[in-house]
Chains A and B, each alone.
Chain A
Amino acid sequence: MGFWSWGVVTLQNECPGNTLAYSSISFFYSPTVNDCPFFPLQIDYTGTEPSSPCNKCLNVSWDSSPPCTCTINFTLEHSFESNVFMYYGLSNFYQNHRRYVKSRDDSQLNGDNASLLNPSKECEPYRTNEDKPIAPCGAIANSMFNDTLELYRIDNDTRTPITLIKKGIAWWTDKNVKFRNPTGDGNLTALFQGTTKPVNWPKPVYMLDSEPDNNGFINEDFIVWMRTAALPTFRKLYRLIERKNNLQPTLQAGKYSLDIAYNYPVHSFDGRKRMILSTISWMGGKNPFLGIAYITVGSICFFLGVVLLIIHHKYGNRNTSADIPN
């Protein structure tokens, strides 16, 4: 019985009213805005379709400057009441490929000076460039996601930018313990002396951000990217949108536009790029799977319980009488 109630509770969290319809939809990501206010909003901006505004950027390369930009407008049917999380999602991107996963040097990222100048062999072929050690080395760092996403609310043709908070998106322990800038005197530029930037990066690691506590290896976007995803379709936290006061929802229903600085090429490997907006409840993220699973398992358990009870009632006495056949 416990399973059942859990299931109900979790489902109620998701989307009361039309659970069934929603559960069937939930298995197919639809780029359109969903009716359900709790359902994450997803916008595919890969631009493979010719009609898409980002179609022009489809074949960008790493070093295109200025970056190709495009804008996608969308409408939010229901408002997001609590804090909103903004994700970028990639498909068909094998962050869990063995060659990729091991292509990093954790001690370099932990601020070890020796590893900074002599990165691990695992980083090959992204270990050195022009005889200089790459910092941060390896394929993961090299392929860091570098699209810039900006969100605007369109209110009577005026575009109000929505504040996107870029701190607090990485694990606290990662930011404060696992990732550290090299130690020593001087500013970051001096500390990274003797190293070179990853090949695909437009600028070195010490120029990722203007704020010193979000720069270098402890840049949170970088840290988030460095936690390799489990599956080829994944999403990563990009920004936070905090609720300002109790009077207004974080994101009101209405028209919005997403400005994209399109740098990250995914078309070559058939990938997709998405922007996702979502909230969380006390149970964590949206989880239709758990809800359905609990309901299903609960019902099966209940059903089996009844069946077994009947069987026990019918056959139980027979067994204890121990009429063992020959």
Chain B
Amino acid sequence: MDCSLLRTLVSRYCAGEENWVDSRTIYVGHREPPPGTEAYIPQRFPDNRIVSSKYTFWNFIPKNLFEQFRRIANFYFLIIFLVQLIIDTPTSPVTSGLPLLFVITVTAIKQGYEDWLRHKADNAMNQCPVHFIQHGKLVRKQSRKLRVGDIVMVKEDEPFPCDLIFLSSNREDGTCFVTTASLDGESSHKTYYAVQDTKAFRNEQEIDALHATIECEQPQPDLYKFVGRINVYHDRNEPTARPLGSENLLLRGATLKNTEKIFGVAIYTGMETKMALNYQAKSQKRSAVEKSMNVFLIVYLCILISKALINTVLKYVWQSEPFRDEPWYNQKTEPERKRNLFLQAFTDFLAFMVLFNYIIPVSMYVTVEMQKFLGSYFLTWDEEMFDEDTGEGPLVNTSDLNEELGQIEYVFTDKTGTLTENNMEFVECCIEGHVYVPHVICNGQILHNCTGIDMIDSSPGGSGKEREELFFRALCLCHTVQVKDDDSVDGLKKNQLSRRSCIYISSSPDEVALVEGIQRLGYTYLRLKDNFMEILNRENNLEKFELLEVLSFDSVRRRMSVIVKSSAGDIFLFCKGADSSIFPRVKEGKIDQIRSRVERNAVEGLRTLCVAYKKLTAEEYSKAQKLLQNAKLALQDREKKLAEAYEKIERDFILLGATAVEDRLQEKAADTIEALQKAGIKVWVLTGDKMETAAATCYACKLFRRNTQILELTTKKIEEQSLHDVLFDLSKTVLRHNGSLTRDTFSGLSTDMQDYGLIIDGAALSLIMKPRQDGSSANYRELFLEICRNCSAVLCCRMAPLQKAQIVKLIKLSKEHPITLAIGDGANDVSMILEAHVGIGIIGKEGRQAARNSDYAIPKFKHLKKMLLVHGHFYYVRISELVQYFFYKNVCFIFPQFLYQFFCGFSQQTLYDTAYLTLYNISFTSLPILLYGLMEQHVSADTLKREPSLYRDVAKNALLRWRAFIYWTFLGVFDAVVFFFGAYFLFDNTILTSNGQLMTTSTHMMFGNWTFGTLVFTVLVFTVTLKLALDTHYWTWINHFMIWGSLVFYIIFSLLWGGIIWPFLNYQRMYYVFMQMLSSGPAWLGIILLITVSLLPDVLKKVLCRQLWPTATERIQNASRHCREHISEFTPLACLKSPRYRSSDCSNSPARRSNSHSKKMMFTHWKGVDYSVLPSVFGYSNKHCRSSAGYHYGGSGLETSV
């Protein structure tokens, strides 16, 4: 009875909450409610452990094996191995079993080690101490032991260990300040409120006496949504129920600020916290190269199967005549004869599979793994990417994605902390057209008088002086900044002694920057006390203003105002806001001058605000007050009425001036973004920040340019029009312009083309993403994607962490399947970092969450440029050559084997000896390609960095497209045909003999099938190695050593292998075969001829393509080779070359805001200087080089102006 009544009451109280399907009841402090109210059902909740590791000790082996064999290649090799074990095959199981075992073990060890690291990190997290209350006492325990229902105490600057309901704080009003920087990227302080009934509890005992239950929804990932209620039981009375909202919920990951301590009760723990739910499971990422590798693998598998099928069928056709199947000289054994025909055919098929299985080489996977693993060290070792300030270099967390860095099409970057350094700085103010720049700090002291101000224009006159004073006061008064009141009693004194000691807190970092900036200009805001704002002016006199009204900021009006009354009794209305919202309301002031200044600043990427004022008479004020009062009291359409009231009050201003605040960009951020865009990469900024702030940053970092037309898709706009109309309007605007243009000019860099920049906010995005009732949401998505594709830059603001991931996913899954990269520094970027193809973490000052969850971590945003343009490009070029070359060399290897079947009665006879079969991929041809995969630099790193557009040459997996693949495969087949039939004609048409004169014995000997195989194999090894030598552009002594070394090794091995009777072998078929072959003149001639013929088409193709249809990369190669040829004759010049590039970098960096035009000028400039500096000792050749270098730099100049 009682119970049901309570329920109805409660449900009425919290209307609309009846339909919770899932809710959880939490007993605060694990106390049971008084008997009779509700049955005590202890619910089970997970503990507060965070698990990011994949394996446990027990499931490691089965789970890891399972995951490894899910890889198509591993599974294939396992099958081959099993087949070899079961049936009688031409090759021994060891040949495929050993490499497979090796691959599996190495991978397992690597993954095990990585997981162990994750375990360690988890443990560190789970073991950090937490205070909580047990029986009225404070207890320290490990974080992981925290349970739902525990009462936790958190001190200032500590992060919350789990999601807590805020019970009480040491502040009287029951509030606390929290920064959620690591959750959503907003570094400003937010206010949370304690539960009304419990906020009075101050100490442990009082809190412990609390008797309450909390009912709330089951955990869900939305950070800003929470519904629940708390029932507080006072002795024997009916419980008081209070609704709980997100303002009562303190989230794990946020940090307590500016509040000494708080008490809270844990409601969501461990993996159920909103932060954990916002993380995505770290799934294994596969690179595009690996995907195409798998596709090629399948193609080769098909080739393999069809080869085996063809051979099996032909075998049985051929054998249909009995004298072929079983001639008198070659009889079968009894069991063989009796075998079932179909079984026999099937085993034959499998045997052919085994015979040809080398076409898909195990060693390729080993080599690729090794190349990736070792290659990633080149990134870590890069000194240019080492950050001196933090002493950190780049980190590689997964080496699987190296080459993906060369394939990026979309970069999603966080703003705060990634593009910007996240500290605002007051740069200048412009009063009446006079520009003031505060000197920041001189010798550690802040100068706060007139000398501290640079007056660019002449000193203003009398009225100007007055305006200037007003301007500073306006800035001092018109804000919602709070002064940190930890020592509010002697705060005044302290501030007088040293102005830096006071700490301003505001939800807007700009306001803080402004107030601090004004402080440096001599006016200090002290505090708000009893509705009086106290400021200290330049003469150190205290001024008091009564705060009458605050017309608070909103994003529609984009301005705020205060109405204050000075001690003299004058009433002022000060207003500051975006230029667009201020200028139309100004009736007086130097509008044009200020406007031009504001526009200039905006393009520079500074965040500008205009300041205006108006003096109110008492009547005007009372009128305004009445208006506001009415609006505030209105029950319906309060917002609208308030807006109308504001509209009426905020008009007829007198413009005072403008301010400019800089959110300092990361070093070379603009330069990096420019380079990325030139490389054909689209850059999107995803931020949780406000639109205005974010847009300013985008201008500053050159994402938006002066001529970019900004399209807005924001809540504001959607309120005015329906989403449908907005979307269609936008797409019309965009498509009308781009309709005539071809698709591939996606860079949007050319100046004659209209540039579009899109701004979208989180709410609008969720509307687009939300499936509609009629199920046509895909329509909106497509439309949205279409708009995005045609915009050169996109800015997404007000994004929740999961929304960032959603955007990334949306692009990732769009129909072109572009490769995406996400870069960020905070915990709020983790989900997007995990979602993108490549996730990059900035090793930030605060927290390494992003860096830990990323694939790569770099110290600064600027390092992204080198990482993508140089390392990524190299990695991609290397791995694609590696993959193609591996398939090529195995086609060369196996195709003769296939052809040989036609001449050996389809009997699965191997062409090569077992040792050659096994060692071909392991030692004869593996090291040169591995080294190539590590070292190759087809153009120099400097060139790649200078010419971002070269990145386009490899875009869209260019080197692994079908055309390239087919070319390589056909080259392989051609070579194989040359090897086989070359040897065939040598053997068939003639008596290949050893020369009597050379051998001293006067004999004249026959060569058998093993010599045939050895001849083919020798040509093969030499051809594929020389082919690689032809492809190598970057020769170091190691390359020479490896390439020639592996050929020498082959010869030595063959001599040794054939040189003695090996006692442990049961066959001696290779005995002296190699030496006999070498002692024959025709064999030598044949080998040389066949090598030449098989290399000829590739050389021809290379030369022709390079001459007739060169790619940008090849042009650069040609040009630099030209130059090098001449230079290398004179070492002094070559030495001069490298520092010269560096000097160009230096000369470029200060002018990073200058456009490309001046860069071109600079190139030509130092071209002239450089060569004139050189003494003309070198004479003619020097001149020669000058001209070719001229070409070169001329080229680069053109390149930059594109």
Chain A residues with CB under 8 Å of chain B are: 3, 6, 10, 26-27, 40, 83, 85, 87, 93-107, 110, 120, 122, 124-126, 139, 142-143, 168-174, 177-178, 224, 227-233, 235-237, 240, 265, 268-270, 278, 280, 282-290, 293-294, 297, 300-301, 304, 308, 311-312, 315-316, 319-324, 326
Contact = CB atoms under 8 A, between A and B. Distances in A.
Contacts of B530: none
A268 B322 CA distance: 10
A84 to B, nearest CB: 10
A312 B1081 CA distance: 37
Nearest to A270: B323
**Residue of B329, B331, B1001 with highest tally of chain A CB at under 10 A:** B329
**Residue of A94, A177, A268 with highest tally of chain B CB at under 10 A:** A94
Contact of B1001 (A172, A236, A265, A308): A172
A52 B994 CA distance: 35
B306 to A, nearest CB: 21
B994 A284 contact: yes
B1092 A3 contact: yes
Interface stretch (B95-103, B401-409, B1190-1198): B1190-1198
Contact of A287 (B986, B1003, B1114, B1191): B986
Nearest to B1060: A177
A307 B372 CA distance: 41
B1089 A83 contact: no
A323 B1192 CA distance: 10
A177 B1008 contact: no
B1066 A289 contact: no
Given A139-B330, A230-B1011, A320-B1188, A97 B909 contact: yes
Interface string B869-910: 000000000000000000000000000000000011101111
B1089 A3 contact: yes
B1001 A231 contact: no
Interface stretch (B428-436, B704-712, B1102-1110): B1102-1110
Given A283-B1082, A290-B1089, A230 B1107 contact: no
B82 interface: no
B1144 interface: no
Contacts of B1191: 320-322
A177 B329 contact: no
Contact of B993 (A27, A177, A284): A284
A312 B1086 CA distance: 31
The 6 closest A-B pairs by CB, nearest first: A322-B1195, A143-B329, A230-B1012, A285-B991, A98-B907, A227-B1008
Contact of B985 (A98, A228, A289, A304): A289
A224 B1006 contact: yes
**Residue of A94, A122, A230, A265 with highest tally of chain B CB at under 10 A:** A230
Contact of A96 (B332, B1007, B1009, B1192): B1009
A146 to B, nearest CB: 12
B1092 A106 contact: no
A219 to B, nearest CB: 15
Interface stretch (B233-241, B411-419, B1069-1077): B1069-1077
Interface in B720-760: 750
A31 to B, nearest CB: 17
Contacts of A98: 90, 904, 907-910
Contacts of A278: 991
A322 B904 contact: no
Contacts of B1008: 227-230
Given A100-B907, A269-B327, 14 more contacts: A3-B1089, A94-B330, A96-B904, A103-B330, A124-B333, A139-B331, A143-B330, A168-B1001, A177-B1061, A230-B1009, A240-B1004, A319-B1110, A322-B1119, A324-B1112
B1188 A232 contact: no
Given A6-B1085, A174-B1072, A284-B1081, A269 B324 contact: yes
Nearest to A125: B333
B997 interface: yes
**Residue of B907, B1114, B1116 with highest tally of chain A CB at under 10 A:** B907
Contact of A322 (B329, B1085, B1192): B1192
Contacts of A169: 1003-1005
A182 B908 CA distance: 33
A107 B1110 contact: no
B992 interface: yes
A97 B1081 CA distance: 28
A322 B1116 contact: yes
Contacts of A304: 1096, 1100
8 contacts: A143-B328, A178-B1061, A269-B328, A284-B991, A288-B990, A304-B1096, A319-B1118, A324-B1195
Nearest to A145: B329
B995 A284 contact: yes
A294 B1069 CA distance: 31
B1004 A94 contact: no
B1006 A236 contact: yes
B1107 A316 contact: yes
A287 B991 CA distance: 8
A177 B1188 CA distance: 65
Nearest to A293: B1089
A268 B327 contact: yes
A174 B1005 CA distance: 11
B1093 interface: yes
Contacts of A97: 330, 904-905, 907, 909
B1119 A237 contact: no
Contact of A227 (B1003, B1006, B1086, B1199): B1006
Given A178-B1061, A284-B1082, A289-B989, A171 B1005 contact: yes
A26 B989 CA distance: 8
B1122 interface: yes
**Residue of B331, B333, B988, B1199 with highest tally of chain A CB at under 10 A:** B331
A99 B907 contact: yes
**Residue of A104, A231, A308 with highest tally of chain B CB at under 10 A:** A231
B1071 A177 contact: yes
B1080 interface: yes
B983 to A, nearest CB: 8
B139 to A, nearest CB: 69
A233 B988 contact: yes
Contacts of B285: none
A178 B1202 CA distance: 73
A103 B1071 CA distance: 17
B1067 interface: yes
B328 A290 contact: no
B990 A287 contact: yes
A284 B1080 contact: yes
A178 B1115 contact: no
A278 B992 CA distance: 12
Given A99-B907, A301-B1096, A173 B333 contact: no
B750 A326 contact: yes
A25 to B, nearest CB: 12
B373 interface: no
A102 B90 CA distance: 10
Nearest to A170: B1005
A315 B904 contact: no
B1109 to A, nearest CB: 10
A290 B1015 CA distance: 15
B1103 A323 contact: no
B1096 A294 contact: no
B1009 A228 contact: yes
**Residue of A6, A93, A98 with highest tally of chain B CB at under 10 A:** A98
Contacts of B1198: 322-324
Nearest to A296: B1093
A286 B993 CA distance: 9
B329 A232 contact: no
Contacts of A270: 323
**Residue of B907, B994, B1008, B1194 with highest tally of chain A CB at under 10 A:** B1008
B776 interface: no
A270 B1001 CA distance: 37
Nearest to B1115: A322
